[in-house]
Chain A
Amino acid sequence: NAGVTQTPKFRVLKTGQSMTLLCAQDMNHEYMYWYRQDPGMGLRLIHYSVGEGTTAKGEVPDGYNVSRLKKQNFLLGLESAAPSQTSVYFCASSYPGNEQFFGPGTRLTVL
């Protein structure tokens, strides 16, 4: 099993550009999450999903959109990137109420 995978691993954007981060899991987990990790701020939840076709806002959702068209995939979109969105993005998945498993992360720089 690959677990949780994320693409791409690294990306550099210019302010105003858009991009989509892809998360995939092969553990048949119902729940999926997107976090960002910033120095001094720790990990914070952006959006999450409790099942195919459903999404919900987390702690810092502004500037991001998500979609969960298939159970195994969770996409994070940035419509107009800003320097404040420079961060490391982690995807995670879990069964309801159970431990969360994390992907390797995507390092995004917005110039």
Chain B
Amino acid sequence: KQEVTQIPAALSVPEGENLVLNCSFTDSAIYNLQWFRQDPGKGLTSLLLIQSSQREQTSGRLNASLDKSSGRSTLYIAASQPGDSATYLCAVRIQGAQKLVFGQGTRLTINP
């Protein structure tokens, strides 16, 4: 059974710092991995999608990497801003299945 873990559960950093969020998964037979952000009381906003054949994806200040063999993905946020404060979720899509398996998320706070 695929399990997705995100550590730490919460992270607080000062504005301007570069930071890394971690995601690990137990089964390397994934189709793709997706990073989301969720603001309190809101839905999920898709940030980046990495297909299983890719090593990384970039969008603006965000960079996501994927290492299938080790079962890990990281989300790198450069020059963090207070507006980046949110819960960040990673989810993997299992090969041959439609569902996404989600991690519990990392609650990120950027302090001005």
Residues of chain A touching chain B, judged by Cβ–Cβ distance below 8 Å, are 4, 31, 33, 40, 42-45, 48, 50, 56, 58-59, 90, 92, 97-105
Contacts and interface: CB of A to CB of B under 8 A. Distances in A.
Contacts of A105: 42-43
Given A48-B98, A56-B98, A105-B43, A99 B34 contact: yes
B98 A50 contact: yes
Contact of B43 (A40, A45, A102): A102
Nearest to B47: A99
Interface residues of B, number: 20
Given A42-B105, A90-B44, A99-B34, A31 B98 contact: yes
Interface string B24-49: 00000001101010000011111001
Interface of B: 31-32, 34, 36, 42-46, 49, 89, 91, 93, 98-100, 102-105
A46 to B, nearest CB: 10
Contacts of B89: 42-43
A56 B89 CA distance: 25
A104 B34 contact: no
B42 A58 contact: no
Contacts of B36: 102
Contacts of A92: 44
Given A42-B104, A90-B43, A102-B44, A97 B99 contact: no
A31 B32 CA distance: 16
B43 A97 contact: no
Contacts of B49: 98-99
